[in-house]
Amino acid sequence: MTTRRRAVTATALGCGAALLAGAACTGAAAAGDPDGEGDLAGKSAQQISDDALHQLVTAKSLRLRTETTADPTKLDITLDKAGNCAGAISKGALGRVEIIKRGNQVWMKPDAAFWKSQLPGEEGARAAAKYRNTFLHGTADHDAFLKNLATACDLSAFQESAAGPGEPPPSGEPTPTAKLTKGHPTTHEGTPVLPVVKHTDGVTETLYVAIKGTHYPLKLTAEADDQKGTVLLSNYGTPVPTTTPPPGDTVDISALEDLFQGTHTA
């Protein structure tokens, strides 16, 4: 399945940012000015893609949102090069977890659906009530669950996946990849953007680049058959919030481990 389904899922979970290295025309809705490409008008689709890739891989922080029709997982996190992050990870009906990471310290606050999906019967309901509005706290160095959760906070890894084999050459010459094409100017969340599109093995990948100001990549999509994955990028350079939960609102992550162990030994 299929390779095309996997490509869509990978894009939405972050690895699909690699399409920046060779990403783009699908009839995107035209903006009010169909020729309003700004200073991108004189650049090729490949040059636009290379410039957008450079802006992404050199960003110190940004907001990342992902979703895909092939998997219920959704991310909405602000993260930086130091490994700090704040946001939420959702698994649809399996629950949602708020996450805060500062250095190796990690706080997670599951919702009721998470507890009920992880613990059987009344155990899940009791845990949801007991730990309502409570953060579980530990370190990514010593807790495997938090370490796995914290991988979503790795901006450097996301940027490396976007860069692929390497950044565009500093000379500004286009990277030798498959031919890309420019679409018509449109808008994304109120911002004028120019789509750059690539078709490969039944998968259509589209990169939306900001027309005004710094040419940041703001949206990535991958479509194949009836599946679609989307990555939204914004808030470039905005610091990750530094507020962490007060001790009175936290419990040690061992509470989660004890609950799971108790369930397995019952």
Per-residue model confidence as pLDDT tens digits over 231-246: 999 999 999 999 999 9
Alpha helices in 95-247 (DSSP H): 112-118, 121-130, 144-150, 155-163
Q: What band does 16 get if pLDDT is binned at 50, 70 and 90?
A: very low
Give the C-alpha separation, 27 to 29, whole Å: 6
Check residue 173 and give its pLDDT.
Answer: 55
Q: What is the mean pLDDT of the chain?
A: 83
Q: What band does 1 get if pLDDT is binned at 50, 70 and 90?
A: very low
**Which of 147-151, 172-176, 228-232, 245-249 is predicted least confidently?**
172-176
Looking at residues 250-257, what average pLDDT do you find?
86
Q: Which sequence spans correspond to the domains of the chain?
A: 1-78+162-235, 84-153+238-266
Q: What band does 23 get if pLDDT is binned at 50, 70 and 90?
A: very low
Give the C-alpha separation, 91 to 72, whole Å: 5
Q: How far apart are the first and last CA of the chain?
A: 39
Give the C-alpha separation, 248 to 232, whole Å: 35
Amino acid in position 135:
F
User: What class, spelled out in words, does domain 1-78+162-235 have in CATH?
Assistant: mainly beta
Give the C-alpha separation, 108 to 101, whole Å: 9
Strand partners, 80: 61
Per-residue model confidence as pLDDT tens digits over 181-217: 999 999 999 999 999 999 888 889 999 999 999 999 9
Give the C-alpha separation, 91 to 74, whole Å: 7
Answer yes or no: pTM beyond 0.85.
Answer: no
Q: Own/partner pairs for 41-48, CB < 8 Å, 24+ apart? A: 44/174, 44/180, 44/182, 45/179, 45/180, 45/181, 45/182, 45/196, 46/174, 46/175, 46/177, 46/179, 46/180, 47/172, 47/174, 48/182, 48/194, 48/196, 48/209, 48/215
The count of other CB atoms within 10 Å of the CB of residue 65 is 17
Per-residue model confidence as pLDDT tens digits over 77-120: 999 999 999 999 999 999 999 999 999 999 999 999 999 998 88
Give the C-alpha separation, 33 to 37, whole Å: 9
Which two structure tokens, joined as six digits, stand for 92? 């649809």
Is the distance from CB of 24 to CB of 180 less than 8 angstroms? yes
% of the chain at pLDDT higher than 90: 63
Position with higher pLDDT, 157 vs 8: 157
